[in-house]
Structure 1
Amino acid sequence: MAAMTQQVAFASWVDHFRKNEQVHAETDAAIPFDKPCEIGEALRRPLIDSIRRFQLGESGDGEQLLRKAARAGDTEYWQAAELFVAEEQQHAALLLRLLGYLGGQPMRKHWSDAVFVRLRRLMGLRTELMVLAVAEVVALSYYGGLAGAGPDPVVRAVAARIVADEHPHVRFQRDRLRAGFADARPPTRAVALAFWWLTAIGATTVVAVDHGRLLDAIGYRRTRFIRDVLADFATLAAAVLRR
């Protein structure tokens, strides 16, 4: 019965991601990338520097994740994961277009992305999804801040488009992680929770410092950003690991 419940849940995620395809096509076509960018240099530079790093983080091919998802043995989850990766790649493409609009160039590598990828690949599917879920929660506040206080309609539209995806992405990771920890004993849950909180605090602090110039420029105080991210993370962690 439990396995059937999980399969039905992931079948609904396959439907969700497939229905998004037409919505995304229409939304993306409406973003006016062809208009001239009139953002002043004082804000444009920190915006470019910040977007470049997020674009790099979104640009992975998801090969490791999909390989681990396939080994999990749930075909519907694997299909949903494949569609999830495709949405993340759409985000990378949108951010690349946004960089072109801003007059910036993509980044080839950054130390924080290298650390994040290495940490994700450290162990199995569960660990990778825990680290990935932290990135999704960070993205909720980052893109939410840009959607509400970005310097022009194009920036706000791209951010709003991405943050609309990140809310269900967090729920998608929650559902799989909840299934993954369903039979875990209390000591395992305690160790996982400690690792997860350390990862969340570390990642959030790095983003607050590394992207601080942009956060300051849009009036999003770094301390508030950290509080917002960790509040969302606490809700996610409780939903996954609390019996």
Structure 2
Amino acid sequence: MSTDGFADWVAEFEAEKERRARAGDPDWSQGATLPAAVWRSLQRFQVGEDGDGRNLISKADQAGDDTYATAVRLFVAEEQNHGRQLARLLAAGGVATLEGHWSDRIFVRFRRLLGMRLELMVLMIAELVAVEYYRTVRDRVADPLTREVTARILADERRHIPFHCRRLRHSIEELPAALRPVAILGWRLLLLAATLFVILDHGPALHALQVRRTRFLAGVMRSSTSVAAAMLGRHQARTAGAASRHPLSA
């Protein structure tokens, strides 16, 4: 596959890794207090963030772009760090992590059946839902530690979306022109279905946070408009290091 190259993304991921090391972790000793429904919701998200990414890394290696494969490894490391931070947050609140969850098992098995293009499109769905979720938790809880942890994760998730958009734009360009909008329509319908599932599964947490389910759904679908345009090449996703210009940075 012909790409614009991912050296800038490797540089950004590595710079973020160094910045994160300098900043250090939040002060876990301050503890955390949240409604029980929000704790249960965070437990499930922690399971999803804690994967090893082997399947995605393997597909990136097979794609024949060593720079992209390096960037994918750095992306996976960031996601694993999210899982670690959420586990520490749960521990700070005296809440155990889950060994697994059926919804995550279904999601992972579905992704692994797909080729690189479709796996990334499904992964993009998870990223868009995660952005709305972490933004909601950050803005709706009073607990300082939870706000700090979710703000850190949210900043990473926002950066991941244009990273995946670049690869998907090239991948979708390989489809016949007439099929490209059809593929994006199918992706948005799958996003709608996935988001409906999330707001049902995490409904008690959204209620505890005083967020209407329709508002959460509208937020995800609104964000998907600019992402869909970027995947079709109609909107230029941000270059590395310019997150403030990305449509999801608000």
TM-score of the aligned structures, taking structure 1 as reference length: 0.91
- Please give the per-residue CA displacement for 1:7-53, whole angstroms capped at 9, x wherever unaligned: 1xx10000000000122224442x1210143x2xxx43112100110
229, 233, 239: which one aligns with 1:238? 229
Corresponding residue SS for 1:103: coil
User: Following the alignment from structure 1 to structure 2, what is the Cα–Cα distance between the partners of residues 220 and 25?
Assistant: 34
Query: Does 2:152 correspond to 1:161?
Result: yes
Aligned to 2:10, which of 14, 20, 28? 14
Question: How do residues 44-193 of structure 1 correspond to structure 2 at under 5 angstroms?
Answer: 44-193=35-184
Counterpart residue number, 2:241: none
Query: 1-side partners of 2:24 and 2:210: how far apart?
Result: 27
Q: Deviations over 1:136-188 (max 9, x none)?
A: 01111100111112231000000000000011100101011001112311343
TM-superposition CA deviations, 1:59-96 (whole Å, max 9, x none): 11000000000111111100100100000000000000
Cα separation, 2, equivalents of 1:28 and 1:146: 22
2:28–2:89 CA contact under 8 A, matched in 1:
yes
CA distance, structure 2, for counterparts of residue 187 and residue 62 of structure 1: 33
Q: Which letter does structure 2 place at the counterpart of 1:68?
A: K
In structure 2, distance between residues paired with 1:184 and 1:36: 50
TM norm structure 2? 0.88
Structure 1 unaligned runs (5+)?
Answer: none
Structure 1 residues 121 and 188, CA gap change in structure 2 (3 angstroms): farther
For the 8 Å contact 1:99–1:106, the answer to whether it is kept is yes
> How far apart are 1:191 and its partner, in Å?
4.0
Does the C-alpha gap of structure 1 residues 27 and 211 become closer, same or farther in structure 2, counting only changes over 3 Å? farther
CA distance in 2, matches of 1:116, 1:235: 24
Q: Show the counterpart of 2:21.
A: 25
| Cα distance in 1, alignment partners of residues 232 and 13 from structure 2 | 25
Give the length in aligned residue pairs: 234
Distance 2:31 2:93 in 1: 9
Deviation at residue 111 of structure 1 after TM alignment: 2.0
Find the counterpart in structure 2 of residue 34 from structure 1: 29
Structure that is richer in helix per residue: 1
CA distance in 1, matches of 2:169, 2:38: 36
SS in 1 for 2:9: helix
Bigger mean CA deviation after superposition, 230-239 or 124-133: 230-239
1:27 and 1:48 map into 2 onto residues whose CA distance is 26
State the AA in 2 paired with 1:35: Q
